[in-house]
Each structure stands twice: as C-alpha cells, then as structure tokens.
Amino acid sequence: MDWETLLNRERLGKPLQSSEELGRTPFHKDHDRIIFSGAFRRLGRKTQVHPVSSNDHIHTRLTHSLEVSCVGRSLGMRVGETLRAELPDWCDAADLGMVVQSACLAHDIGNPPFGHSGEDAIRYWFQQAAGRGWLDSMSDAERLDFLNFEGNAQGLRVLTQLEYHQFEGGMRLTYATLGTYLKYPWTARHADSLGYKKHKFGCYQSELPLLEQIAQRLGLPLLETQRWARHPLVYLMEAADDICYALIDLEDGLEMELLDYAEVEGLLLDLVGDDLPETYRLLGPGASRRRKLAILRGKAIEHLTNAAARAFVEQQPALLAGALADDLVEHMAGPAKRCVQGAKDIAREKIFHDKRKTLHEIGAYTTLEVLLNAFCGAALEQHGGRRLSFKNRRILDLMGSNAPDPSWPLHTAFMRMIDFIAGMTDSYATEMASEMTGRAIPL
C-alpha cells in the first residue's frame, strides 16, 4: 500500500460538483457531515457502559465518540508530522489528523440501543428466529449477517446508505475516511474464523459491492474472498478508542462508586511517573477527586498518545504491507501498554458486573425481543405478497416510507427493520416496546 492511494480524496457515490472552499478540505467536510447527521446526534441517548440516565457525569456513546475523535486527531497529526516526507505533497499533518478524527467520530455510529448487550440481544433473537425457519429463504452468507449482527457493519451501512443521500452513497464521504473507519474490512463469513475478535466483521452482503469499491480505490490488498487488509490509519482510530475506553471506564467507575480513587490514581501515576502537572502537585488534600482525576487523566492521555504514535511509526512497514496482525496497543512501550491493559482488567473485574448494569442488559434483551418480533414478524408476513393482518399493517405504518416493499427479498426487508431498530436510542426503544405490549396504556 502507498500513502498517495490510501489518502484518496474522491467521494463514494455521485461526486458533488463544487470547488474547493478556502480553509475547508474534503476531509473537513467529512467531519462536518458526520457531526450534523441524525445518526451521530442520537448517540447522545445510547449506552456506552452504564445506563444513560443513572448519572449525569457518565459517558454516553456521543461523549465517548467526541473524546475518541480528539485523541485520534492528535494521533493523526503527530504521525503526519513524523512521516511528512513520505506523504503526498498536498497532504499535511492536519489532513491526516482530520481523516483519523472523522473516522473516530463515526466509529460507534452503527451501534444499536443498549450498547454491546444490544448487539448480543439482536444476535440471540436471530438465532432463535433461524430455529423457527424465519431465515430459510436466505443464502448462507445472508443468514450470517443477522446471526453475527455487528455494530461496525451497521455503521458502514449508515455512512454509505442511510444518511443524507439514501442508497445513493449515503454521506458520500471520501474513500480515505471510509477506509479509516473500516476496522474489519471483511464480511460475516470471516467473523469467527480469523481468531481476531469474536463476531467482528465490517460489511453486510448488501454493502459488499461498496466495500469492494472502497478497497479498490484505496489499494487495500485482497487477502481472501470477501476479506481485505486493513487501512493503516485504522490502527490509529482503534488506538484512540482503546485509550479513551480504558480511561473512561475508570472515570465512570469512580462516578458510580465502583472503584477506589487510590486504585485509579496509582495506575495513572505508574504511567506518568515524575511528569506530573504543576497544577496537580499544588492541589491540597481537600481537593475534589473529580478535579484531581481530570488533571491526571489529561497527562495520562498525552503519554498514551505519544506511545501510540511512536508505535505506529515503528510499525509502518508492516502496516503498509497489511501484515500487522494485532492492534497498536500491543506494540506500545511498556508503561503505556501496562496502563491500558491494567485499566481494562479493573473494568472487567469491578465495573462490568455491577448489578445496575446487569439489570439494564437483561432489560435490553426483553425490549429488543418485543421490537424484533413485531417488525421482523410483519416483514415475514408480507414477504411474497401475503395478506397482512391489521396489526402488522399498523406496525409497518410506523416506518412510513422506510417500510419494506412486499416484493423485496427477505434479507433486504429484514435489513430495513434492523436499520429502524438499531437507529433507536435507548429511551425510544424502551418506550416503543412498552407501548407495543400495552404497558404504557393508561387504565
């Protein structure tokens, strides 16, 4: 792979005939299109780790995505400055930073309500549906799209199909930004066979022609059928996510009173060593732990960002060859790698098993089961032109112009239902499921 091709500024879909704007590159436009999209705005009411209504200070998918984008911009710019001589003449460090920042903004845009438990609930429902024969008319590849439902694949669909220019390029982002977003440039047939991360894939069968086009325009090597090498900048986006996820989990754990401050402080102090900000040294014993953590967290992010940028530059030959098998954190210097892994270990042990979080996750299964039964049941009944019951007609009426056509293949019809449900916020999904079961009807 080469940087000239990897940083392709052309747009997916029909190109817009407009001249360059002063001070606003194609990559700036990508950033703005994502920010102003409805799908991005709805992340403000979607679970990151803890239920969104439990504490005003904890992170949602929206605040997490914004923080990841800031770290991603710093990573892109630092790498851009170091590799300046190897980049195209027209590309500067700010361009590289903007590409990574835009991809970071979009990295969770396809996540359904209720976070990762929502993803698992959808997969579980389709496994039950397959047992009832609901997926029998699909090909094996099409069935895998639903049995391995993935927010990353749904995100590609949001970016390239659903927002703005519906089914005509979507947001019409540049190929460079789309490639940097594509954490898993393969289809569901490889979801469980690579040993990378269970269930992970980045493209449904419906978007496979678009993935092929993106890969071709970026020069991503085809590794096997329906699987391409990752864009090198994906590793920066992934590192930014890992850095923020690790520190955010600790910060939210303190807010939820699941962790001791001394434990979190010790982990971060081990990373920054003597490089403590003067403002942190001047804080007295009575200073709020929230203020102390904010100062210490900023310095920790600086150290982790520097370590990730250095690892990227060191691994550039393997990255351009499409041969780096693991993520960038594995190649970061000892203290940085130890901090990220230590934070994740603490989160697994003390945060992810919190009773409030567990109850929220169980509720996600019930809510999504109600919605999937209703919407996919209606799509199945009308499949092939069968007469719809009054109830299912009313269910499809809820979708308006987005309701599937009776003549469509079942895979296409079910994808429209997933688009509708996955796009919901936690609160909207809960409210609709409650009303569908009659619980919200006053006596």
pLDDT digits (tens, 9 = 90+) for 256-287: 888 888 888 899 999 998 888 888 777 777 77
Residue-wise pLDDT for 369-404, tens only, equals: 999 999 999 999 999 777 899 999 999 999 999 999
Name the phi and psi angles at 60, rounded to 5: -105, 175
pLDDT bracket for residue 443 (50, 70, 90): very low
Q: What is the pLDDT of residue 60?
A: 87
Please state the separation of Cα 95 from the chain's center in Å: 22
Residue 16 has pLDDT above 60, yes or no: no
| Average pLDDT of the segment spanning 234-243 | 96
Question: Percent of the chain beyond pLDDT 70?
Answer: 94
Q: What is the pTM of this model?
A: 0.93
- The span from the CA of 304 to the CA of 337, in Å, is 8
One-letter amino acid at 159 equals: L
Q: What is the pLDDT of residue 253?
A: 82
One-letter amino acid at 431 equals: E
Place of tokens 């955010």: 248
Residue-wise pLDDT for 178-196, tens only, equals: 999 999 999 999 987 765 5
Residue 17 has pLDDT above 80, yes or no: no
Task: Give the Cα-Cα-Cα angle 57, 61, 63 (nearest 5 degrees).
Answer: 50
> 208, 162 in Cβ contact below 8 A?
no
Q: What is the pLDDT of residue 254?
A: 84
Q: What is the pLDDT of residue 260?
A: 86
Q: What is the pLDDT of residue 294?
A: 85
Question: Percent of the chain beyond pLDDT 90?
Answer: 72
Q: What is the pLDDT of residue 323?
A: 94
